[in-house]
A and B are shown apart, each in its own frame.
Chain A
Amino acid sequence: DIVMTQSPDSLAVSLGERATINCKSSQSLLSSSTNKNYLAWFQQKPGQPPNLLIYWASTRESGVPDRFSGSGSGTDFTLTISSLQAEDVAIYYCQQYYGGPITFGQGTRLVIK
């Protein structure tokens, strides 16, 4: 199984500041045939289902604010929120869909400092 490890587990950022969450996979998520990284990012708020933010490591889902961006390739990936807003308080998960079983990172809790 591909193990996904996020860092940090918890993050406190001031409003308007940048937030960065890292995700490392135990094997490469880059497909040589498609040249795509099979990595997604989700945001989950209490009592709500997860919301897809980013897929293919850097493609923003329709309707997601452009302050959210994804980067990285191979085994190391980053989700960046360029200017934190109050509504961004949530748990963030990375997920690999390169191969079965599909696996998620343990989650990163983002709070306001």
Chain B
Amino acid sequence: EVQLVESGGGLVQPGGSLRLSCTASEFTSNTYWLNWVRLAPGKGLEWVANINEDGSVENYVESVKGRFSISRDNGKNSLFLQMNSLRAEDTAVYYCAGGSGWIFHYWGQGALVTVSS
């Protein structure tokens, strides 16, 4: 079973940047789409972005377009989320998730991102 572990969360000021990483215990790099999903305090789950198996296709929720960038390094079994121009409303636990197609079979434990001055 694939194990996903996020890292890179923390406290950042509004307008700042942060880079999240997600490392997989095993990687069927030519099979899995990978995603970032977030859970803001008091809110529900929100899909943020995904990337296809070879990294050639990226999709984003409208609210992060132009600010966030998803990427992957299949050789290092890793997924990344570069977050720029962070806002208070980006405060959330960020999960990496993946599986066959767009089905989220596997989830990491999450990384907390707090945007506050």
Contact = CB atoms under 8 A, between A and B. Distances in A.
Interface of A: 38, 40, 42, 44, 48-52, 55, 61, 91, 93, 95, 97, 100-107
A44 B59 CA distance: 24
A104 B103 contact: no
Interface size class of B (residues with CB under 8 A): 20 to 34
Chain A CB within 10 A, most for which of B39, B62, B101, B103: B103
Contacts of B99: 52
Most buried by B among A51, A104, A106: A104
Interface stretch (B7-15, B43-51, B68-76, B80-88): B43-51
Contact of A42 (B45, B101, B109): B45
Nearest to A50: B107
A61 B46 contact: no
A34 to B, nearest CB: 11
Given A49-B108, A101-B62, A102-B50, A44 B103 contact: no
19 contacts: A38-B102, A40-B104, A42-B45, A44-B39, A44-B45, A48-B109, A50-B104, A52-B107, A55-B103, A95-B47, A97-B102, A97-B103, A100-B59, A101-B59, A101-B60, A101-B61, A102-B35, A104-B45, A107-B44
Contacts of A50: 37, 45, 95, 97, 104, 107
A52 B103 contact: yes
A86 B101 CA distance: 33
Nearest to B62: A101
Contacts of A93: 44-45
B101 A97 contact: yes
B98 to A, nearest CB: 11
A61 B99 CA distance: 12
B67 interface: no
A2 B15 CA distance: 30
Interchain residue pairs A-B with the least CB separation, the first 3: A97-B102, A49-B107, A102-B47
Contacts of A107: 44-45
